[in-house]
Amino acid sequence: MIGLHKFTRAQAIAYGFLTVTVVFCLLPFLWVVLASVDPNASLFLSIPKGITADHFIKIFTAQKGARWFLNSLVTVGAATALVVIVGGMGGYALSRTNAWWKRPFLYAIILVRVVPPTALIVPLYKVMLFANGVMGALVRSIVPPDHVRSTMHIFGFVDGYFGLILVLSAMQLPLALWIIKTFFDLTPKEYEEAALMDGANVFQRIHRILVPLALPGLGAAGLLAFIGAWGDFLMPLTFISSPDLQLLPIGLFRAFQRANILDYGYLSALALLYMLPAVVAFGLARRFLVQTFTGGIKG
C-alpha cells in the first residue's frame, strides 16, 4: 500500500529537519560540479548549456594542475608512509611498555595534539631555516655546483620536499601514535610470545605476527594522517615558494586569487580532483572517526 504509510509526528519533523540540513550541506557543491563540465563556466551558479570534459583534460595537458597534484601526492604520500612506520614502532612500544614514562608520555601526546600549528609557525620557520643551512652546506660539499639547487629542492628544508615531508609527518604523528597504541593494546601478547618460543627473530615477528595483527590500526592511522596532511594549507604556504614545487592547495588558492585571468571551469575541475582522494579516504576512515575527534578517549 505505497503512499498510505503513516508518519509519526517525530518522523515528519526528522524528515523536514534533515532535508533542510542536507540542502545546506550540499548546495555549495552544486556550483563546483556544474562549473566543472560547463564550457562557459563562471563564478556563479548556472545550468550548463552543454557538457564538456575539456576542463578535466586541461588539467593533464595544458596547465600546471597535474604537476601540483603529483607534488601533493608525492609529499603527502611520503609523509603518510613515514607516519605509519614511525607511529607503528612508537605505538607498539607505548602499548607494550610498563615503564614509568608511559603515562607522562601519553598525556604529553594529548597536550601536543591541541597545540595550534599557527602558534608554532614562526619558531618552526626558524628551525627549518637553520636545518636548511646545515643541509645546504652538506649538499654543496657533495654535489657539483650546478646541481645544488635541484638537489636542495628534494632535500632542502625551506622550499624543499624533505623538510616539508618531515613537518607534515610530525603534525600527524601524535594522533597516529595514539591510534596504533590503542590497537596494539587489543592484540594479545601471546601470539608474539609463541612466535618467540618457536625461535622467530625480531624481523620475523614484526613481519609475520605484528604487522598482520596491527594492519587495521596502521591503516586507520595512515588514512587519518593522509587526510590531515592532504588538506593542510599552512605548511606548504609557509615553506614552499617555487612554482614548480607548489602543492595543489596553494596552487589552487593562488590561481583563484588572480582575479583577471580566471578559468572557473578549469579551477572547478581541479578542486574536484583535489577533494576526491580526501573524500575517499574519509569514507574509508569513517568508523574510526570518533577516536580521531576525541583523541582516543573512547579507544
Enumerate residues 68-127 that contact other proteins by CB under 8 A: 85-87, 89-90, 92-94, 96-97, 99, 102-103, 105-107, 110-124, 126-127
Q: Is 207 in the site for other proteins (CB under 8 A)?
A: no
Q: Is 209 in the site for other proteins (CB under 8 A)?
A: no
Alpha carbon separation from 149 to 141, 145, 155, 187, 294 (Å, rounded) = 13, 8, 10, 48, 43
Alpha carbon separation from 287 to 34, 148, 175, 217 (Å, rounded) = 31, 46, 15, 12
Minimum gap (Å) between residue 17 Cβ and other proteins: 5
Q: Is 4 in the site for other proteins (CB under 8 A)?
A: no
Minimum gap (Å) between residue 83 Cβ and other proteins: 9
Q: Is 203 in the site for other proteins (CB under 8 A)?
A: no
Q: Are 128 and 167 in contact (CB under 8 A)?
A: yes
Minimum gap (Å) between residue 122 Cβ and other proteins: 5
Map residues 258-297 to x or -, x wherever contact with other proteins holds by CB under 8 A. Answer: ---------x---x--xx--xx--xx--x--xx--xxxxx
Residues 231-250, interacting with other proteins (CB under 8 A):
231-234, 237-238, 249
CA angle 37, 277, 267 (to 5 degrees): 35
151 or 182: CB nearest other proteins = 182
Binders of other proteins: how many residues, by CB under 8 A?
94
Minimum gap (Å) between residue 198 Cβ and other proteins: 15
Minimum gap (Å) between residue 146 Cβ and other proteins: 29
Q: Is 60 in the site for other proteins (CB under 8 A)?
A: no
Q: Are 184 and 217 in contact (CB under 8 A)?
A: yes
138 or 147: CB nearest other proteins = 138
The span of 52-60, 137-145, 209-217, 226-234 binding other proteins (CB under 8 A) equals 226-234
Quickly list DSSP for 37-82: H-TT--SS----SS---HHHHHHHHTSTHHHHHHHHHHHHHHHHHH
Q: Binding residue for other proteins (CB under 8 A) from 17, 61, 212, 244?
A: 17
Minimum gap (Å) between residue 62 Cβ and other proteins: 20
* Neighbour-count burial of 268, counting CB atoms closer than 10 A to its CB (0-12 exposed, 13-18 middle, 19+ buried): buried
Helices 148-155 and 161-186 cross at an angle (nearest 10°) of 20
Q: Binding residue for other proteins (CB under 8 A) from 230, 239, 246, 265?
A: 230
> Any idea how long the chain is?
299
Q: Is 221 in the site for other proteins (CB under 8 A)?
A: no
Minimum gap (Å) between residue 187 Cβ and other proteins: 16
Alpha carbon separation from 95 to 102, 194, 261, 296 (Å, rounded) = 9, 18, 54, 14
CA dist., res. 194 & res. 215, Å (int):
20
